[in-house]
Amino acid sequence: MKVKILATAALMTLAAFGSASAADLSAPAPNYYKAPPPPPPVSTFTGCYIAGGGGYGFWTQDSFTRSTAGVQLSSNVTNGGKGWFGMGQGGCDYEFTMPLFSGWSPRLVIGAFGDWDGGALNGTNSGIPGGVGNERMSSAWFAGGRLGYVVNPRFMTYFDGGWTQARFDSFGVSAVAPVPLAAPLVTVGANTYNGWFIGSGFEYSLDILPINGLFLKTEFRYSQYGGNSGVNVPITLVAGGAPLAFLNSQKSVEMISTELVWRFNFFR
């Protein structure tokens, strides 16, 4: 009898252990090694982009008139204009590390871009003997490259440069001597000037906003126009006809602009 009681007790003990083991197996073990959260997104200036904005500009010129035979008719005159403009831009950049001396490895950016500016930079042209007119720079395009230095992951400074063309509209010239006249007597033709430009600016990541890839850019740009493109600007009667003379004009433009940039293949 005692043997049966002991055997029964042993079986009940084994059954209890089995139930406890099954219960333990059914509950997953606690995970003390969870993966760390992903790091916050890091800004990068790599990517292609589109941008839009505007600014304010000044243009100046040194000009004189000459006859159709090539004889200079007036002394050299300096004048110019100013006004607001809007602009659109597109380009691509690549950010990389450049190992240099003493272990210094700055983050640099190289890129290429093009933009178009349109507006009304109005001014006065008094380079025509005895007359004065209102001259306007109405548009310009720029194409070039830039080299930037990444100060920190969100902020870059840069220099750029390249080629440009500027369009100056035709304008009428009214006589101021010997008697001032309101109505124009002659017209200076519209002309497209070729030139070069250099600039400098900074770009700042707006990663505090919910839209990825937004940057804010501000730039100062200087352009020089002239050469053969500014030598033979025709001066004709308002009624038309063959040129009476030519305007020889060398122009320069200074512009400061701010743009909102969207880097649409922005890598994070």
Distance CA 266, CA 268 (A): 7
Q: Is the dihedral of CA 40, 45, 46, 47 positive or negative?
A: positive
pLDDT on residue 239: 87
Residue 23: inside a domain = no
Residue 205: inside a domain = yes
pLDDT on residue 177: 75
Q: In total, how many domains does the chain have?
A: 1
Residue 53: inside a domain = yes
- Integer-rounded Cα Rg, in Å, for the chain is 36
C-beta separation of 150 from 156 below 8 A: yes
Residue 17: inside a domain = no
Helix (H) or strand (E) holding 56: strand 47-67
Residue 1: inside a domain = no
Q: How confident is the chain (268 residues) per 10-residue block, as mean pLDDT?
A: 45 46 53 58 81 97 93 91 96 92 87 95 84 93 97 96 97 83 89 97 88 92 94 92 93 98 72
Domain that holds residue 145: 44-263
Amino acid at 238: V
First to last CA, the chain: 78
What CATH number has the domain bearing residue 119? 2.40.160.20
C-beta separation of 171 from 188 below 8 A: yes
- Whether residue 40 has a cis bond before it, omega within 30° of 0: no
Residue 147: inside a domain = yes
pLDDT on residue 20: 46
Residue 214: inside a domain = yes
Residue 49: inside a domain = yes
pLDDT on residue 41: 52
Helix (H) or strand (E) holding 19: helix 2-26
pTM: 0.80
Amino acid at 105: S
